[in-house]
Amino acid sequence: MLLRRITKHLKDQNWFAVTLDFIIVVIGVAVAMMGQQWLSERDQRTNTEQAEKVLQDDLHRNYFNAKERVAVSKCRIEAYQSIAQKLLEPEEEWIGMPREEVDVVGIITALPNLLRSPSRGWGSNNWHAELGRGTFSSMDIDRRNRIDSLFKQTEHAEKLQREIYTLQGRIKTLAFSTRIGKRDRLRYLDSLGEMDLKSGLMELIAGQIATSIENIGIDLSPELIMQGNEIVAAHNKFAQTVYGDCYVPFNLNAVTEPSQQDAQP
């Protein structure tokens, strides 16, 4: 209808009406584009807020993983030293060394585990997916780079964790009483040494991950903070009954508020 009216005004050479019609068309297009942009920005804000909530949960989970790994490091070292000392004994008779089961991942095995270190899900699939979509494009670039670097560290931790578990499976025989010759003892000692190196590196990376998350900060609701503290307290109590005095209880209070740097506009 508007096009028909413009055509009529052109035929009548009514330039004032033509100009007015043109202005109306321009304003209409501009309003439509502004409305579309507003809707797009609103959807972007909604997506960013939802992705940020998941990100906070991922940071909290990885912080728990890192603190837990550091908490058992002393116990891990004592266990490795005990096994190494016994492997160096000259006798071929081997008295099995089964240890208390620590069900940290819900895995049930038919054979006893000589060693069991924590196994957790590291990293954040959400971060990589949303970063690729541009969801976090409006995030402060320094914060974005620090979080991206953090999750690259967690990928290394995940890789080391898998390798440590493979090595732990190779020395399961030592949980049983049997006869082990010198050559086999040295072979087990080599596996233990490799596992010791990877575990030490894992604990170093875990400490770095914990520090990085503390610097980034985690913004959780008071309810989630309270719930998390209750879970950690129960976990510490359980772990102490299994590992003993070597276990170092931890808490997550250091990251319940964003850091001063991130809090600045």
| pLDDT at res. 4 | 63
pLDDT, position 47: 60
What angle, 0 to 180 degrees and rounded to 10, lies between the N-to-C axes of helices 141-170 and 182-216? 160
Give Cβ neighbours of residue 7 (< 8 Å, ≥ 6 apart).
none
Helical residues (DSSP H) of the chain, grouped into ranges: 2-11, 15-71, 73-87, 125-133, 141-170, 182-216, 222-243, 260-263
Full pLDDT tens readout for the chain, 265 residues: 555 655 655 455 555 555 666 666 667 667 667 666 544 555 555 566 777 888 998 999 999 999 999 999 999 999 999 999 999 998 888 888 876 555 445 566 677 777 778 888 999 988 988 888 888 888 889 999 999 999 999 999 999 999 999 999 889 889 889 899 989 999 999 999 999 999 999 999 999 999 999 999 888 778 888 888 899 999 999 888 888 899 999 988 776 554 433 433 3
pLDDT of residue 264: 38
What pLDDT does residue 84 have? 94
The length of the chain, given as a count of residues: 265
Q: Identify the pLDDT of residue 2.
A: 52
pLDDT for position 261? 38
Q: How far apart are the C-alpha atoms of 88 and 94, rounded to whole Å?
A: 11
pTM of the predicted structure, to 2 decimals: 0.77
Alpha carbon distance 209, 62 (integer Å): 8
Kindly give, in sequence order, each residue whose CB lies less than 8 Å from that of residue 194, ignoring residues fewer than 6 positions away.
Answer: 167
DSSP β-ladder status, 93-94 and 178-179: antiparallel
Q: Record the tokens describing residue 206, joined without a space.
A: 């875990």
Query: Which one, of 138, 156, 168, lies nearest residue 62 by Cα?
Result: 156
Q: Which amino acid is at 131?
A: L
SS3 assignment, position 178 = strand
